[in-house]
Amino acid sequence: MPRKSTIQMSALGAFAILSCLLFMFYKIGGSWSFALEERGIKLAAIGLTAVAIGVSTLIFQTLTQNRILTPSVMGLDSLYMLFQTLLVFFIGSNNPLMANKNINFIATLILMIAFSFMLYHLLFRRERVSIYFLLLLGIVFGTLFQNGSSFMQMLIDPNEFLIVQGKMFASFNSVNGTVLGVASIVLILSLVYLAFWFKYLDVLRLGKDQAINLGVPYFKLARHLLIIVSIMISVATALVGPVTFLGLLVVNVTYQLFDTYRHKVLIPGSILLSIIALVFGQWMVERIFTFNTTLSVIINFIGGAYFIYLLIKESRG
Amino acid sequence: MIETKQITKRYQNKTVLNAIDLEVPEKQITAFIGANGAGKSTLLGIVSRLLKKEGGEVLIDDMDINEWKSKALSKKLAILKQNNQMTARLTVEDLVSFGRFPYSQGRLTKDDHEKVDEALAYMGLEPLRKNYLDALSGGQQQRAYIAMIIAQDTDYVLLDEPLNNLDMKNAVQMMKTLRRLVDDFGKTIILVLHDINFASCYADYMVGLKNGEIVAQGSTEEIMTSDKLKDIYDMHLDITEINQCKYCLYFK
């Protein structure tokens, strides 16, 4: 790693730790053990989400050779919402599938992963499938799911709708220890799986043809990377709700900070930036806005402002 | 040796290549020539495994191309296409280092670094090695890609229209470099060329395609005749000879 990257990475790491400390100890009063446990679980959930979103968006963009796509185009967020709406619509919000967080998490996770596997299994029976064809299908499915959920949301009881609405926004408030354990295991397994393919990621940046020329088993690699991305997105979404909006921002800031194509720099960079964005965002939601706004609003606001700043800076330079 | 047997390629119902049988001569420059849409680039794409075929087989050193392991094949055969779309920001040195990926899988050894240095020197890119590719001219970029292919150190080098977007000076330099690769290092090069005169001056062997079929093939000497070229291009071409090299004048 070049020296400049090392310094930047250390600074980012220090900043991430500082923001975590702030999150853990700011205005801590009353029972320390209770507060620390509660905040600790939230922080762990944030860390997990940060890894899942940062890594999956990065490898998704490397695979698609596109800096403005996020894995949300695969329609997994919409599938998540559809599933939650279906549950409320047909069996009501009191059913354990909806009311019990552990059961809801496991069921959602299994469904999302199963859906991705089914989709890819059907598609990849033909040996060479264009990535863009897959994305197009993802968009079509996503729109279908979204419209399906909107339709049902119109019909249900307003009180039930509030429950569904609560699921529409990413939130770290409903995470508990059991759910966290399962999510970490799945995430760690997918990271181990990714390690097998890691060496090919840099070459993939050269484009499909060059990657094939240099001996990358491209079609196999694309298949496995998409499965890894799906699993990671599923874990994050089932854990805290739709959060893919974060990926686009974080990964692009990572490219901006670390002017490199090397994934051994980009991946840790995007994880650290995700942690900073999420911890700060959540801290602001809780302490400054006292839960009057949602995390995505804050992150999108700051991210949008940053992009406008970049545009202005570039156009002057 | 590169050999094709009965290669067929279809897009929907349109046959772009029909039962192509070809043996590419070793340690020579072979040029695929023909009109637009004749199937030259498609044939090159299939021989290099970038494109899928509907029928027939490609044999690389007597083994079917599908039997080859990706890694082993990338040490044997290199392909360079014309439009290299790339989103990453790389320096020339980074790009050329990627040529060693088949050998090092990303962890460059001392030997790999030497090969990269040699390739950079060979293409005269040492002064530019730390420059970013997107800041270079088209000709310099093309040279950087060729340096990568040289670092890849394969017996077979396949190039799809390597002279596109190059001015006269750069084009001549490029062809001279390719000629040296064959003469000095014994590489086998296959090119798709649009300019028949470049093919005539630098290639040893020519394969003329028309409507997805090979209509003429042979040494440059044999192909550069008005009759053969009429078969390939469907137009009358006068051949003139200047300094032992045949040119065809097609401008009027």
For A215-227, what is the mean pLDDT?
A: 88
Shortest Cα distance, chain A CAs vs residue B223, angstroms: 31
Taking 90 as the threshold, does the pLDDT of residue A144 lie above it? yes
pLDDT over 70 for what percent of chain B? 98
Q: What percent of chain A has pLDDT over 90?
A: 24
For an interface test with A, the pick among B60, B71, B89, B98 (most A C-beta atoms closer than 10 Å) comes out as B98
Position A1 scores a pLDDT of 62
**Residues on chain B touching A260 (C-beta within 8 angstroms):** 89
Phi–psi pair at B155, nearest 5 degrees: -70, -35
Check CB contact of A69 with chain B, cutoff 8 Å.
Answer: no
**DSSP state string for B160-182:** ESTTTT--HHHHHHHHHHHHHHH
Buried b (16+ CB within 10 A) or exposed e, A92-112: ebeeebbeeeeebbbbbbebb
How close does chain A come to B99, measured CA to CA in Å? 7
pLDDT at B44: 92
Write out chain A residues lying below 8 Å of B96, CB-based.
Answer: none
pLDDT of residue A127: 61
What pLDDT does residue A289 have?
87
Query: Which letter does DSSP use for residue A286 in this model?
Result: I
Q: Specify the residue for token string 């990671």.
A: A232
- φ and ψ of B60, to 5 deg: -110, 120
Domain ranges of chain B: 84-153
- What value does the mean pLDDT take over residues A258-266? 88
Residue A84 is part of which domain span?
Answer: 3-316
Q: Is A181 exposed, middle or buried (0-12, 13-18, 19+ CB in 10 A)?
A: exposed
* pLDDT of A176 over the 80 cut: no
Domains identified in chain A, total number = 1
| DSSP strand pairing (B188-192 vs B29-34) | parallel
Q: What are the beta bridge partners of residue B15?
A: B10
pLDDT of residue A71: 85
List pLDDT tens digits, range A4-29: 888 989 999 999 999 999 888 888 87
Q: pLDDT 10s per residue in chain B (252 long)? A: 899 899 999 888 888 888 888 999 999 999 999 888 888 999 999 999 888 888 889 999 989 988 989 899 999 999 998 776 666 788 999 999 999 999 988 888 899 999 999 999 988 899 988 989 888 888 888 889 999 999 999 999 999 988 887 888 889 989 999 999 999 889 999 999 988 899 999 999 999 999 989 998 999 888 888 888 888 888 888 888 888 888 888 877
A66–chain B Cβ distance below 8 A for any pair: yes
Give the model's pLDDT for residue B180. 92
SS (H, E, C) A180-211: HHHHHHHHHHHHHHHHHHHHHHHHHCCCHHHH
Whether residue A203 lies within 8 A of chain B, CB to CB, comes out as: yes
Report in angstroms the alpha-carbon separations of A202 from A62, A140, A256, B94, B100: 8, 30, 17, 11, 13
The pLDDT, as a whole number, for residue A66 is 81
Q: What burial class does residue B170 get, using C-beta atoms within 10 Å of its C-beta: 0-12 exposed, 13-18 middle, 19+ buried?
A: middle
Alpha-helix residue ranges (DSSP H) falling in A205-294: 208-213, 218-240, 245-257, 263-283
ipTM for the complex?
A: 0.89
Share of chain A above pLDDT 70, in %: 98
| Alpha carbon of B71: minimum distance to chain A alpha carbons (Å) | 4
Question: Which of A65, A205, A213 is opposite residue B79, by nearest beta carbon?
Answer: A213
Chain A contact for B66, CB < 8 A?
no
